[in-house]
Amino acid sequence: MGCVSGSTKAPPGPSPPLRSASGTSGTAESTARPPRILEPPGLLREGAGALARALDPHVDLAIELVDRLAGEVVLRHAGGRVALDLGHGAPRVTEWVRPRAGALTVVDALDLGRGAEVRLPFADASFELVYSLRTLPHLGHDEPTSTAAAGSVLSEIARVLAPGGTALCQIDNPRSLFGLYHGIRHPITAIERGALVVESEHGITRFDTLPGFLRLVPASLEMTDLHGLRVFTALPRLLVLPILGRLFFRLEWFARDRAPFRQFGAHLIVVLRRVS
């Protein structure tokens, strides 16, 4: 399996758009924050004509919003720690983390394969932080291999994580407006049957309820926190609506860390701690 091992030195070119309170790359978890997006840039301010000329602006805005919501969560835990980006599912977040982590190793999702078993080429207890964004829902090539691969990669995360270390795992949630949008009409059934796997020409997407996901988690990992991404904006095009778009951006920042809203996010970031 190939992987990209990166040092903490920032790449050449413009610095990532994240700074500590002092204006320098910092390790304090509370000061490394990506700027919040409170209104869609560019297209919204240019009016309806620009929106009509654009082919698909809302998808890019939704991706940017999720990156910033997830990126701030990762940065809370990354300061000065030896970290593993498992899947490289959000390259922008990777560049925000790189100068703040003590060391950062990146494994591309392609190197994880599409099979039922995942093995990482690292020694036990190698990392203090493992985070995986936009990766776990797309492992495997059908429902059986998806389930096996999810359990396998969680076991590997537990193995390579040092005692007391943190894992951040992003999953897709059927109990959300996003799940309903994708045709998942009976989320209670998802709890009874386990995960739901949707297949397309681009591969598979796995939807796990939080209870279903936790059944896959090894006993050496315990859940300590939960964050919900895209609680209200099931349709990305909502983000480009005048006035309402700004409101939806604000609502997403409000709901991400607050119960009961966070449990209905389209994507959940499950925070796990290695206890043994």
Q: Which residues lie below 8 Å from residue 218, measured CB to CB, with a gap of 6+?
A: 154, 155, 158
Contact 150, 170 (CB under 8 A): no
Query: For the segment 230-241, what is each residue's pLDDT rounded down to a tens digit?
Result: 999 877 888 888
32-274 CATH choice from 3.90.420.10, 3.40.50.300, 3.40.50.150, 3.40.50.880? 3.40.50.150
- Res. 207: pLDDT tops 70: yes
For the ranges 101-115, 167-181, 260-274, the lowest mean pLDDT is seen at 167-181
Q: How far apart are CA 107 and CA 1, in angstroms?
A: 9
CA angle 8, 11, 17 (to 5 degrees): 90
Q: What is the pLDDT of residue 10?
A: 38
**Domain parsing of the chain, residue ranges:** 32-274
Q: What is the pLDDT of residue 245?
A: 86
Q: What are the beta bridge partners of residue 168? A: 131, 271
